[in-house]
Amino acid sequence: MKITDIRFGLLKIPLKTPFKTALRTVEAVEDIVVEVHTDTGHVGYGEAPATAVITGDTHGSILEAIRRFIGPRLIGQEIANLNRITHLIQTALEKNTSAKAAVEIAVYDLFGQLYGAPLYRMLGGGDPVITTDITISVDYIDKMVADSLSAVDRGFESLKIKVGKDIGVDIERVKAIYAAVEDRALLRLDANQGWTAKQAVYAITALEDAGVRLELVEQPVKARDLDGLKYVTEHVHTPIMADESVFGPTEVIDLIRMRAADIINIKLMKTGGLSNAIRIADIASLYGIECMIGCMLESSISVAAAVHLAVAKADAITKVDLDGPSLCAYNPVDGGVIFNESEISVTDAPGLGIRSIQGLQPIPA
Ligand SMILES: C[C@H](N)C(=O)N[C@H](CCC(=O)O)C(=O)O
Ligand SMILES: [Mg+2]
């Protein structure tokens, strides 16, 4: 099975409700879909969102990186030589992790199709069902409480509460949600870089002193402020998770050496796809560091790859934030992974199992 062509489409899906974080507000998923075609007629699918405020990637940069740098190296490559292909993708150019991820996901999809096995089995196998949290956007306190209660009623047992807008209101937001939800769900906070290190210690300590039990706090400080992240980790009891501060395996090694965080959030759009995500899970596992698998605003194409990885690496990936498809108004994919609110299941269809994608607008090659 040899790669013959790479094609693109634009996927636009409205969200059920606007997604609001300390970094941005978004009303729709608007992602580039990558199709990797082969001489056998098999097609692999990948997807990349333009999360410019986190990865620096835009639709234009994703397309340019694949058209000019990654794609030309892959034509004629044999899918069976997976490691050679991922090396060609990762070394085609610096950064551009979303473009690399989209192509890698499509290639791994084909690797599973080549051997007639679902991707999670090609990655080592595992239990086919995982459980995700759901994001509660930062908003007025009453709205966040109502959204949290509605999520709990829909069966979500972990809520990822977005904060990082205003320290005083943030503390009140979390207290109000904790009181309303009681013991029916675990609370994870994600400040998306919105606090300083001292503010983070103040807010988390205030919540701890008020008896609010938090599972973890994600990315309290600016991505580059590793000393600030370490300061927060050392000065609170609540586990601290690095998200925007770590993209690839070498950054994870630095973070672990510094002891700057307790948990690592792996996202395929930061790692450049599955090969580096596997490396991170293995490194973290060696050091006894837990990982979360997360996503950007992605649909069930790229999130499917993250699900297969989470199933296969369940020893290291103990927390799941793969709610992108649940936030979308509909699922554009026929086949693939089954997303049913908090419960996500892989099937035994080869690769990612995607049969077709509705509503793709073609983009010229
Ligand atoms: C969608 C996921 N639950 C999430 O919250 N991801 C964000 C970034 C998403 C974005 O802005 O597209 C995160 O973990 O920071
Ligand atoms: Mg985050």
Range of the domain at 57: 3-116+358-363
Q: What is the pLDDT along the chain (365 residues), one digit of tens a residue?
A: 999 999 999 999 999 999 999 999 999 999 999 999 999 999 999 999 999 999 999 999 999 999 999 999 999 999 999 999 999 999 999 999 999 999 999 999 999 999 999 999 999 999 999 999 999 999 999 999 999 999 999 999 999 999 999 999 999 999 999 999 999 999 999 999 999 999 999 999 999 999 999 999 999 999 999 999 999 999 999 999 999 999 999 999 999 999 999 999 999 999 999 999 999 999 999 999 999 999 999 999 999 999 999 999 999 999 999 999 999 999 999 999 999 999 999 999 999 999 999 999 999 88
Domain co-membership, 258 together with 343: yes
180 CA from centroid of ligand 2 (Å) = 24
Domain co-membership, 78 together with 214: no
Domain co-membership, 112 together with 183: no
Domain co-membership, 22 together with 90: yes
Residue 113 tokens, joined = 């199709």
Domain co-membership, 28 together with 127: no
Domain co-membership, 221 together with 298: yes
Residue 153 tokens, joined = 């009623």
Question: Which residue puts its alpha carbon closest to atom 7 of ligand 1?
Answer: 296
Domain co-membership, 245 together with 322: yes
pLDDT of residue 63: 98
- Can you give the CATH number for the domain in which 64 is found? 3.30.390.10
Domain co-membership, 201 together with 111: no
Backbone angles phi, psi at 50, to 5 degrees: -95, 80
Hey, which of 295, 302, 303 would you mutate to test ligand 1's pocket, going by the most ligand atoms within 8 Å of its Cβ?
295
Which residues are paired to 48 by β-bridges?
Answer: 32
Domain co-membership, 77 together with 200: no
Pocket of ligand 1 (CB under 6 A): 21, 24, 51, 135, 160, 190, 192, 243, 294-297, 321, 323-324
267 among known catalytic residues: yes
Question: Which residue puts its alpha carbon closest to atom 10 of ligand 1?
Answer: 296
- Count of CB atoms within 10 A of residue 365's CB? 11
pLDDT of residue 218: 99
> In total, how many domains does the chain have?
2
Domain co-membership, 105 together with 126: no
Domain co-membership, 93 together with 125: no
- Which position among 100, 267, 270, 319 bears the catalytic label? 267
Q: Which atom of ligand 1 is nearest to the CA of 51?
A: 12
Domain co-membership, 111 together with 155: no
pLDDT of residue 92: 99
Which residues are paired to 242 by β-bridges?
Answer: 264
Backbone angles phi, psi at 139, to 5 degrees: -165, -165
Question: Which residue puts its alpha carbon closest to atom 12 of ligand 1?
Answer: 296
3-state secondary structure of 53: coil
Hey, which of 15, 165, 243, 321 would you mutate to test ligand 1's pocket, going by the most ligand atoms within 8 Å of its Cβ?
321
pLDDT of residue 365: 83
Q: ipTM of this model?
A: 0.99
Q: Which atom of ligand 1 is nearest to the CA of 54?
A: 11
- Tell me how far apart the alpha carbons of residues 357 and 300 are, in angstroms, rounded to a whole number: 10
With contact defined as beta carbons under 8 Å apart, do 276 and 304 qualify?
A: no
pLDDT of residue 288: 97
Residue 325 tokens, joined = 């498809």
**Which helix (H) or strand (E) covers residue 16, if one does?**
strand 3-20
75 CA from centroid of ligand 2 (Å) = 35
Which residues are paired to 358 by β-bridges?
Answer: none
- Tell me how far apart the alpha carbons of residues 154 and 148 are, in angstroms, rounded to a whole number: 10
